[in-house]
Structure 1
């Protein structure tokens, strides 16, 4: 992860660990962070963002529980392989992705109107 792709808005109502988790999940699920990409250590990312290491550790634990990253002693934390075939439509997964997106959008300072406009434009662009 070469560029600082994760940003935290400390004035947001969304907790910092959730902002980190949502942004990294979105980067992984969209392929911007490919399989095998090494993530910064908890301490390094915490220092880069000016946060406590426990905040970043919680985000990493949740990403690991979602099987988006894997941590191996001596190998660091890396992006896990995504399933080769897309899963069948799962309303719970769609809800989780929606929460991830809206958390990331709010961390950027977007309000509900801007978020809905972005979603409409994205859907229209795929039609």
Structure 2
């Protein structure tokens, strides 16, 4: 499964967040179907050249989001019914130019770091929900 996950150590996005975002994206795209078993923490950490705690944190975040389930004998698997994300409501009025400029900078930085739209949105949602402190 590591073929679908790449870590950019020069990115300002922490490695656990890169893993979390990429797996969440694979799940949302249907590339990882419900019931698909993820690699063990140690296996993925070894394949990516990271500490096991880094991968464990990513898996824990995915579990808290309801995207995966950890089962003692079966390991970590994609949840049977991932949560449905509702599209955001349009802004109530005109968006200030400073906010538009900040979003444009965020998108540019994300592209430089190799992140796609789904990854950027997942990071934004996570920060907004306060799950990444």
Q: TM-score range by the shorter chain?
A: 0.5 to 0.7
Q: Flag the structure with larger Rg.
A: 2
The equivalent residue for 1:10 is: 9
Distance in 1 between residues matched to 2:28 and 2:63, nearest whole Å: 14
Residues paired across the two proteins, number: 99
Alignment RMSD (CA, Å): 2.6
Normalised TM-score (structure 2): 0.64
What's 1:30 paired with? 29
* Structure 2 unaligned spans of 5+: 90-106, 118-133
C-alpha distance in 2 between matches for 1:104 and 1:40? 26
TM (normalized to structure 1)?
Answer: 0.67
Q: Is the 8 A contact 2:34 2:81 kept in 1?
A: yes
Q: Deviations over 1:43-64 (max 9, x none)?
A: 0000000000000000000000
Shift of 1:87: 5.4
- Tell me, in whole angstroms, the C-alpha distance in 1 between the residues paired with 2:110 and 2:46: 20
**Greater relative contact order (Cα < 8 A, sep 6+):** 1
How far residue 82 of structure 1 moved from its aligned partner, in angstroms, is 2.4
Cross-structure match for 1:122: none
Q: Aligned partners of 2:82, 2:5: CA distance in 1, in Å?
A: 24
Instruction: Give runs of aligned pairs for residues 75-94 of structure 1, distance below 5 A.
Output: 75-82=74-81, 86=84, 88-90=86-88
Runs of 4+ in 1 over 2 A off after TM superposition: 86-91, 102-110
3-state DSSP of counterpart to 2:77 = strand
Give yes or no for contact 2:66–2:82 (8 Å, CA) kept in 1.
Answer: no
TM-superposed deviation, 1:30: 0.9
2:37–2:78 Cα contact (<8 Å) kept: yes
Unaligned runs of 5+ in 1: 92-101, 116-127
